[in-house]
């Protein structure tokens, strides 16, 4: 396991400080969390070359806060992958918006840009692009589509921490990126996530949404300095408590130091598996995903299984909402043939 003495000492450091959470749901320096949170956000921002990094209690919460920050609302549509963990498709429902399923690429398993563009309507507000199995999405094509139609791209990089596309880290390819620090990801703090963006306004909205926005904005309005000036559309935000603890942040800081070494280990086995890698990408290999009929996988080193997940529109929730049960043929063909392999133990 990648949890070692470093993480244990970090937890002891946080415990000895007596501050297990430095947050308060009111305006002031404490609104931004305690010393471990602030240090993690600074280190994450520096590592990934992004202006804002915001610690949060899960990647699912990060997707929720991102959708809240862009103003997703009833009547909007959000294009999502039909082949992913459910939250990337179900989050829009929290806002009264409708997820619109696009098909996936047959070789790389991420959103197919042609399918994405065919799904865009006048109601489309955003695209949630998933970096599935550690493979970054086709950022050039999908970002160009988004720019053409004036819509936002939220990148779900939960499975791709450390992956790159044309030299740029996954998670930093869209308008907002969301990372996972869940227990079975490349690096972890048990439960946790990081949201990143280069947009100052979106960053502040995400912070408000994950820390009791409605309790904070009135005090913010009283501030005279321009950098804390109230934005008119911040008033309508409603926040939750989606905050990470100091203990989790302390562990995540140590895990981040190990990320490059962990990715090297994952990548060292790529020649053992016939995995398709998008040109210009450095795959993070959260899973070694293949659609080959014959392959031997060493059971002592790797778990393996056939199939990944039922196409999301075939789940009972979406059946109930009236989705077409055979709308993404490539996804259905991939799911019939895919083989997954992953490490029995992290390093």
**Catalytic positions, written as ranges:** 185
Instruction: Give the chain's end-to-end CA distance (angstroms, integer).
Output: 5
Q: Coil, strand, or helix at residue 221?
A: helix
Residue that the structure tokens 């562990």 belong to: 251
Is 343 within 8 Å of 301 (Cβ atoms)? yes
Task: Please calculate the CA angle 186-69-153 and round it to the nearest 5 degrees.
Answer: 60
At residue 335's C-alpha, the angle toward residues 325 and 140, to 5°, is 90
Strands of the sheet with 98-102, listed across from one edge: 52-56, 193-197, 176-180, 152-156, 124-130, 77-81, 98-102
Strands (DSSP E) contained in 160-313 are: 164-165, 168-169, 176-180, 193-197, 281-282, 288-290, 302-306
């Amino acid at each position: 396991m990648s949890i070692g003495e470093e993480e244990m000492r970090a937890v002891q450091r946080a415990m000895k400080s007596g501050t297990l959470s430095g947050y308060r749901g009111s305006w002031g320096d404490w609104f931004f969390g305690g010393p471990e949170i602030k240090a993690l956000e600074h280190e994450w921002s520096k590592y990934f070359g992004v202006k804002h990094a915001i610690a949060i209690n899960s990647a699912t919460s990060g997707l929720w806060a991102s959708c809240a920050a862009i103003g997703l609302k009833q009547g909007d549509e959000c294009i999502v992958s039909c082949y992913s963990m459910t939250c990337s498709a179900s989050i829009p429902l929290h806002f009264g918006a409708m997820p619109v399923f696009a098909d996936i690429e047959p070789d790389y398993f991420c959103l197919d840009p042609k399918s994405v563009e065919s799904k865009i309507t006048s109601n489309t507000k955003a695209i949630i692009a998933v970096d599935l199995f550690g493979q970054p999405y086709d950022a050039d094509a999908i970002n160009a589509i988004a720019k053409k139609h004036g819509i936002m791209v939220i990148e779900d990089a939960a499975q791709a921490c450390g992956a790159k596309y044309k030299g740029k880290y996954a998670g930093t390819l869209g308008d907002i990126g969301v990372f996972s620090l869940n227990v079975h990801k490349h690096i972890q703090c048990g439960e946790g996530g990081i949201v990143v963006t280069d947009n100052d306004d979106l960053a502040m909205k995400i912070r408000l949404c994950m820390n009791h926005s409605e309790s904070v904005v009135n005090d913010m309005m009283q501030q005279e300095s321009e950098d804390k000036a109230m934005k008119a559309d911040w008033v309508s935000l409603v926040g939750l408590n989606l905050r990470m603890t100091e203990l989790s942040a302390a562990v995540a800081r140590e895990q981040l130091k190990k990320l490059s070494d962990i990715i090297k280990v994952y990548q060292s086995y790529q020649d053992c598996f016939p995995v398709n890698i998008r040109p210009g990408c450095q795959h993070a290999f959260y899973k070694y995903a293949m659609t080959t009929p014959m392959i031997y996988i060493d059971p002592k080193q790797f778990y393996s299984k056939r199939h990944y997940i039922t196409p999301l529109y075939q789940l009972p929730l979406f059946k109930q909402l009236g989705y077409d049960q055979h709308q993404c043929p490539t996804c259905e063909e991939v799911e019939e043939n895919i083989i997954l392999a992953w490490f029995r133990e992290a390093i």
